[in-house]
Structure 1
């Protein structure tokens, strides 16, 4: 079963995000209060715990959720293999549509400066909020259209 292991938020772009218990994901906007939210195609960022574990395995064992500036840390789903347009239901209400896989890391990225590498360009995904609502830790993630 795929699930949410962390919800993370920051007030500034390019910084590590801090975990919160639950977040409100607003339709066509993103996580309320997060610097990346807005009316564009990268409203929400997702990264698998398994991807973070790959970085830990190469010697960066102090990494934690949110260190790669992801809004939602998942477990049990290989996000970066899902095609653009895949629709996910997260918890009871929220529906996300994957809009981008990976990204180009900007210069001066705090995450890359701290960790020496950033896995988001390879394995992070971005999504638009199709149906809003709350997401909390432990919520199930279901692929409803791929």
Structure 2
């Protein structure tokens, strides 16, 4: 679990649910993905802006593991990169079990600090009926597992493209489990 690769990159200049796959994306320190509707120092997700537009943007960038798409396919869903709103689709990293404040170095210069889990919303069912339930699970103790990816902030900017290596730098122990942000 020390490194993985970028399977695809995506962005959308408007608040659409899905994002368009691109050849590359450019990360801007402290803001997010250049040209993406969620870029900014303050929160851009519409439901959160309605509650408090002055919240810091802990959701500048959204990552999903491509292994989720394989799992969903076995359940009868057809989901491709970018369709669940992620900016970066990864392979080979257990994103959901990374601790809070893990730093991902992607490509030559980009660094992302993990802030928490994405909380899936009912828009998933508009994409495909039953999809929201399919990205939720329960562990052995009955705790909710959110599988719709993780969120982060940009510590260092740069270009990211398909095939870039992702290096994981764990925070100091004790690790803090990811919670929804």
State TM-score, norm by structure 2: 0.73
CA distance in 2, matches of 1:21, 1:122: 29
Q: Tell me, yes or no, if the aligned pair for 2:99 and 2:170 is still in contact at 8 Å.
A: no
Which of 21, 29, 32 is matched with 2:31 structurally? Answer: 29
Q: Give a deviation string over 1:113-134, Cα, whole Å, max 9, x none.
A: 1222143881210000000000
CA distance in 2, matches of 1:51, 1:133: 26
Using the TM superposition, give the Cα deviation of residue 79 of structure 1 relative to its aligned residue in structure 2, in angstroms.
0.2
Q: Please identify which structure carries the higher strand content.
A: 1
Q: Tell me, yes or no, if the aligned pair for 1:86 and 1:97 is still in contact at 8 Å.
A: yes
CA distance in 2, matches of 1:7, 1:89: 15
CA distance in 1, matches of 2:73, 2:111: 30
CA distance in 1, matches of 2:108, 2:146: 29
CA distance in 1, matches of 2:125, 2:100: 25
CA distance in 1, matches of 2:58, 2:158: 18
The match for 2:99 is 83
Please tell me whether residue 103 in structure 1 is matched to residue 119 in structure 2: yes
Q: In terms of Rg, which structure is larger?
A: 2
CA distance in 2, matches of 1:42, 1:18: 18
CA distance in 2, matches of 1:87, 1:3: 15
Gaps of 5+ in 2: 42-56, 137-144, 172-181
Using the TM superposition, give the Cα deviation of residue 101 of structure 1 relative to its aligned residue in structure 2, in angstroms.
1.4
The match for 1:12 is 14
Correspondence list, 1:67-82, <5 A:
67-82=83-98
Using the TM superposition, give the Cα deviation of residue 89 of structure 1 relative to its aligned residue in structure 2, in angstroms.
0.4
Gaps of 5+ in 1: none
The match for 1:93 is 109
Q: Give a deviation string over 1:61-117, Cα, whole Å, max 9, x none.
A: x32101100000000001010011111101110000001113152x5x2x3312221
Q: Give a deviation string over 1:36-84, Cα, whole Å, max 9, x none.
A: 1111110000000001211111001x32101100000000001010011
The match for 1:3 is 5
